[in-house]
């Protein structure tokens, strides 16, 4: 049973938009494409779907369960409110860098910018793979 993609303008965060399995997280980490700023690290990979999927990884170093859950809720809310500004077809894993929470406004500015940046990295890499025509070897002219 697959759930339909939310209609445009909908801010719902549905179950099929979550990364839950360890294997899904591993695939994103193994792709090794990330960007970061002072608040978070964003790992990404293409997922071939018409929507984004989000996973959150909050280390115990950040704090106790209450602090970690508060950060998860904050980052999930920033994603939910700004996903219409982000390119689709990606799996994302967000990792908070600090234990003190940023404001929601800061995250709403930072998250779409970072996701667009990592999407450009992935798109640029894909273009390079397609254009893999071997260049002729450089020949040095005798002086």
Average pLDDT over every residue of 69-80: 92
- Does 60 score more than 70 pLDDT? yes
- Does 5 score more than 50 pLDDT? no
Q: Which of 59, 60, 44, 51 is nearest to 93 (CA)?
A: 44
Distance CA 102, CA 91 (A): 23
Residue 61 lies in a domain: yes
Contacts of residue 112, Cβ cutoff 8 Å, sequence gap at least 6: 82, 85, 86
Average pLDDT over every residue of 76-89: 90
Q: Which domain holds residue 98?
A: 15-119
Residue 57 lies in a domain: yes
When the pLDDT of each residue in the chain is averaged and rounded to a whole number, the result is 82
Residue 133 lies in a domain: no
Residue 140 lies in a domain: no
Average pLDDT over every residue of 8-32: 78
Counted domains in the chain: 1
Residues in the chain: 143
Q: How far is CA 12 from CA 17, 54, 114, in A?
A: 10, 13, 22
Residue 137 lies in a domain: no
State pLDDT tens for residues 123-135: 887 665 555 555 5
Distance CA 18, CA 16 (A): 6
CATH number, domain with residue 30: 3.30.230.10
Tokens read off for 140 = 């040095």
State pLDDT tens for residues 34-46: 899 899 999 999 9
């Amino acid at each position: 049973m697959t759930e339909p993609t939310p209609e445009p303008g909908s801010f719902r965060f549905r179950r099929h938009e979550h990364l839950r399995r360890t294997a899904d997280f591993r695939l994103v980490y193994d792709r090794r494409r990330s960007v970061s700023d002072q608040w978070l690290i964003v790992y990404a990979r293409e997922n071939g779907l018409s929507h984004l999927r989000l996973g959150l990884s909050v280390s115990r170093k950040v704090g106790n369960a209450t602090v970690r859950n508060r950060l998860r809720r904050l980052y999930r809310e920033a994603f939910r409110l700004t996903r219409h500004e982000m390119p689709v077809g990606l799996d994302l894993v967000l990792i908070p860098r600090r234990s003190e929470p940023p404001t929601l406004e800061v995250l709403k500015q930072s998250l779409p910018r970072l996701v667009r940046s990592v999407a450009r990295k992935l798109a640029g890499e894909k273009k390079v793979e397609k254009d893999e025509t071997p260049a002729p070897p450089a020949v040095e002219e005798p002086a």
